Chain A
Amino acid sequence: MSSETIASRPVYGSLAPVESNYHLFIADDHGGAAIVELAQHLSSDFWTNCEIIYINSQPNSASDHSDAIEALQCSKFYLGASIDAARGRISNSLNRAKMGTQIYLAGSEQLLNVSTMLVIEAGYDHRSVQTEQRGSLARRVQCVHCKGITPDVITQPTVCSHCGLLLLVRDHYSRRLAAFQGVNINAEYPDDIPETVEAFV
């Protein structure tokens, strides 16, 4: 669970399905467990008007819930290997959806962030989606100096993969970019290199 630090830092909740004609789930890895757990409290009818997009980045590991999700027999199921590969599919589903479709996101912080960005691009209010964070807290970080985005950041500070500056990863977050802001941590004293810690795991 994330805690609220500054207003822009996203806060996640837990999934609670509501009545609707159609439900769209987007999840990755450990987020699959959130769907499987929901299924224990829902009738099997629920899944007949439901699409699930599941990103399974580590098949046959503890985070692989693809078999259990497929067994729910939802009306549409897509299994992908990475959020980037699934982006077209997600946008397509969002753009084809009718108002009233309920959107649920579950999984790593990067999955929640990128999916929310696609939801906003499709014209939805970002508050209209339900989110549940499971698994990795690795961040997408935008270097405020070169504007390059570095995914999968787990350390504080971190090196910008584009320009090489050492960045302090802030909680300051951009919904438009689905990225946290990284600011050069040692601009005045380049030789002052703080200890690197694993902060986002």
Chain B
Amino acid sequence: MSANNMIDVVVTQVVEVNELVKRFHFSRPDGLALPAFSGGSHIIVEMSDGEHVRKSPYSLMSSPLDTSDYQISIRRDDEGRGGSLYMHREVRPGMSMRISAPANLFPINNRSTKHLMIAGGIGITPFIAQTAQLLATGGDFELHYGARTTELASYVDELRASIGRRLHAYIGENIDFDDLLSRQPAGTHLYVCGPEPMIELVLAKAAENGWPKGHIHFEHFAKAPPGEPFTAYLSKSNKSIQVGKDQSLLEAMEEAGVDAPYLCRGGACGQCETTVVEAEGKILHGDYWLDDEEKAAGNKIMPCVSRFCGSNLVIER
């Protein structure tokens, strides 16, 4: 499984939402419908930036009811490896790009009686698709959306227009999670997407308030961080590869023609988990997949986001 299912698309619109966020619209060049998806899905966007190919996951924010036009919103990250900067600076309407088919690691639980959604900042995007879906299917939901400033509260006006009083916006103020989580009716499912500290706080509060794990859903894609270049030896492919400073181990494997598995490319789904055969040095784990024990043991690495610092790394790929 991997790069074979990429879809050719055309960028139809690029909209500056605010000083940090741009929205990108994709359609198929032949005008046919893109694959159907459910709210909470993400796509992988392939970026050919100079000599390297970079691929990053972004949540689809457009309505699942309209598959003629996929929309994603990207917040500019000046400290990252450059993926968001490339999208902000280089991508223009009319450009041809390649995206993956959608995959959903953050689906709505359709058995639940109510959906409690909590978004922080750009974490709002999957909820825009999910609320469009729930408006069509008639599900009960409320969306609590925190943002630092009015300017950064992307889509708050659009959401107010579409979902009305089900939107609770907190601009520059804290959400009282204890209050919110303690007064939800039986059968409610909780969904969280936003910055990592907010997700951690909400998960801790949910546990404190006795919420069962099966009712809690969150999505946070780790970013493949830039870092020191390193060398990795792929034992099955019998190849030695160089991982550049703005490249992930997964991207370096792909560049070397090795078909490595992946799904989310954000350290969340577990697809790319790879056995470490030898490591003299330190694995810099950046994923949400391996638990602390596995990370400490050092027998596994998630090449989509994790790096290595040391003299010798051999992985089973």
Contact = CB atoms under 8 A, between A and B. Distances in A.
A34 to B, nearest CB: 20
Nearest to B116: A99
Nearest to A126: B214
A192 interface: no
Interface string B176-208: 000001111111100000000000000000001
A179 interface: no
Interface in B207-243: 208-215
Contact of A99 (B111, B208, B211, B213): B211
Given A97-B186, A124-B187, A102 B210 contact: yes
Given A100-B209, A102-B210, A123-B188, A21 B215 contact: no
Interface in B124-173: none
Contacts of A19: 208, 210
B111 A100 contact: no
B186 A128 contact: no
B299 interface: no
Interface residues of B, number: 20
Contacts, number: 62
A128 B207 CA distance: 12
B113 interface: yes
A168 interface: no
A99 B111 CA distance: 15
Given A123-B111, A123-B112, A123-B113, A98 B184 contact: yes
Contacts of B185: 95, 97-99
Nearest to A128: B212
Nearest to B188: A99
A125 interface: yes
Chain B interface mostly helix, strand, loop or mixed?
loop
Given A123-B111, A124-B187, A100 B210 contact: yes
A16 interface: no
Contacts of B181: 99-100
B113 A100 contact: no
A94 interface: yes
A99 B212 CA distance: 9
Given A123-B112, A123-B113, A98 B214 contact: no
Given A98-B182, A99-B209, A127 B214 contact: yes
Contact of B211 (A97, A100, A120, A122): A100
A18 interface: yes
Given A99-B181, A99-B215, A100-B182, A123 B210 contact: no
A7 B311 CA distance: 46
A96 B186 CA distance: 7
A75 interface: no
Contact of A123 (B186, B208, B211): B186
Interface in A84-126: 94-102, 120, 122-125
A101 B210 contact: yes
A95 to B, nearest CB: 6
A95 B186 contact: yes
A21 to B, nearest CB: 7
B214 A101 contact: no
Contacts of A18: 210
A184 B214 CA distance: 36
Given A19-B210, A99-B187, A100-B211, 19 more contacts: A95-B186, A97-B186, A98-B182, A98-B185, A99-B186, A99-B209, A99-B210, A99-B211, A100-B184, A122-B186, A123-B112, A123-B113, A123-B186, A124-B186, A124-B215, A125-B212, A125-B215, A127-B213, A128-B214
18 contacts: A18-B210, A19-B208, A95-B185, A95-B186, A97-B185, A98-B182, A98-B184, A98-B185, A99-B181, A99-B210, A99-B211, A99-B215, A123-B186, A123-B187, A124-B187, A125-B215, A128-B212, A128-B213
